[in-house]
Amino acid sequence: MPIVPTKEILDRAFAERYGVAAINVVNDLTMEAVLAAAEELRAPVIVQTSVKHVKMTGVDAMYAMWSAYAGRVSVPVALHLDHCPEREVISACLAKGWNSVLFDASKLSVEENKRQCVEVVAEARRYGAHVEGEIEGFKRTEEMTGNEVAEEQSLETVIDFIRSTGVDVFAPAIGNAHGMYKTTPHLDSQRVSDIVEATGIPVALHGGTGMTPEQFSDLIARGCAKVNISTALKIAFMQSGYDFMTEHAGDYDPPKIFTAQRAAVMEMAKHHIRLFGSEGKAWT
Ligand SMILES: [Zn+2]
C-alpha cells in the first residue's frame, strides 16, 4: 500500500517545484475517483477530509474506506485533515492514521495558536504524521470586497510562528479565499517567496479554485508545493449529477448517475494534476 508521509510527498514537490493536488473529497465515490485519477496519471496526490465530513462518516469508517481505496493504487498518496479547529478531532484522526492535519486556530490569538500548535506538532510526531499551520483565517469569496489587504499578520510574525512551532507546511493569506471567485483574485505572490526564503518550508495554497494557470505556475515556482482544491470537486460532483438527471429524466438507477459523477470528478482531478505539473511524478 503506497500510503506515504505527507512530508515526503511535499518535500519532493517542493525540491522539484511542482505542485501536488490536495483535493477535498466528500464521500466514498469522490475519494475513489480522485485516487483513480492520480493512478492513471502516475501522480502523487493528497486526499483531504473536512471536519464536517469526518464527523458525519465517523473516523473509523472513513479510515477503513481510505485504507481500502488507497490499497488499490500504486502511486504515493496521503490522507490529510483540512482546517480543523477541534483538538479532539485532530487527536482522533492522528491516532487512527491520518498522515497530516491542518490545525486551524486562526480564530485564536497568534500566541495561543502557537502554544497549541506546538502541542499538535508533538502529538503528530508520535505517529510519524505532519502538521500544516495557519494564523490568518481565509475568507469566503462571497465576503470579498475586492479591496482586500492580503497581509493580516506581519512577515516577522509568520516566520516566528513557523520556527517556534516546527510546522511542516504553512498556509498564508495572500489575497486568496475559499469558494468561487467573481473575478481573478489579486494575489500577493511575493509573500510566498518571502516565507519560503526565510523558513525553507513549503507553502500550502488555499482557495485554488478559479485561479488562472499563470497564477498557479507562478505560485508553485515560488514554493507552493501543496495546492488545495475543494470547490472544483463539489462543482464537478454536483453539476454532473444534475446534468445527468436533466438529460435522463425519470431514470432512477443509481449506478448510472454514479458513473457520470465519477467520470466528472476524475476529469477535474486530472485537469488539476496536469496543471500543477505532478503528472508522472510518482516514485513508488
Ligand atoms: Zn482552505
State in Å: Cα 14 to ligand 1 middle.
19
Q: Quick one: pLDDT at residue 137?
A: 84
User: How far does residue 134's CA lie from ligand 1's centre (Å)?
Assistant: 10
Residue 273, sorted as left (phi over 0), alpha (psi -120 to 50) or beta, turns out to be alpha
How far apart, in whole angstroms, are the C-alpha atoms of residue 269 and residue 267? Answer: 5
Catalytically annotated residue among 82, 104, 160, 188? 82
**Residue 239: all three cell numbers together:** 453539476
Please tell me the distance between residue 39's alpha carbon and the centre of ligand 1 in angstroms: 25
How much is the pLDDT for 147? 57
pLDDT value of residue 193: 98
Q: How far is CA 198 from the centre of its chain?
A: 23
Taking the centre of ligand 1 as the mean of its atom positions, its distance from the CA of residue 138, in whole angstroms, is 7
Name which of 207, 269, 210 is nearest 236 in CA terms: 269
Q: What is the largest CA-CA distance in the chain?
A: 60
Q: Could you say which of 2.120.10.30, 3.40.920.10, 3.20.20.70, 3.40.1390.30 is the CATH number of the domain covering 6-276?
A: 3.20.20.70
CA atoms within 13 A on the CB side of 198: 16
Residues 60 and 172: their CA atoms lie apart, in Å, by 31
Ligand 1 geometric centre to CA of 253 (Å): 35
Average confidence score pLDDT of the chain? 95
pLDDT of residue 152: 76
pLDDT tens string 153-167: 899 999 999 999 999
Quick: pLDDT tens for 5-30. 999 999 999 999 999 999 999 999 99
Of residues 123 and 152, the one with the higher pLDDT is: 123
Give per-residue pLDDT as tens, 179-198. Answer: 988 889 999 999 999 999 99
Strand residues in 29-184 grouped as ranges (E): 45-49, 77-84, 100-104, 130-134, 139-140, 169-170, 177-178
CA distance 111 to 165: 11
**pLDDT top residue among 144 and 131:** 131
45-49 and 169-170 beta bridge pairing? unpaired
Distance from Cα 247 to the centre of ligand 1, integer Å:
34
Based on its alpha-carbon atoms, the radius of gyration of the chain, rounded to whole angstroms, reads: 18
Is 82 a catalytic site residue? yes
Q: Are 277 and 19 in contact (CB under 8 A)?
A: yes
Helix or strand run (H / E) with residue 273: helix 254-276
Cα–Cα distance, 235 to 185 (Å, whole number): 19
Tell me the pLDDT band of 145, cut-offs 50, 70 and 90: low
Cα of 133 from ligand 1 centre, angstroms: 11
**For 249, what's the count of Cα atoms within 13 Å in the CB-facing half-sphere?**
1
- Banded model confidence at residue 146, pLDDT cuts 50, 70, 90: low
Q: pLDDT band at residue 148, thresholds of 50, 70 and 90? A: low
pLDDT of residue 140: 85
CB 188 within 8 A of CB 218: no
pLDDT confidence band for 138 (50 / 70 / 90):
confident
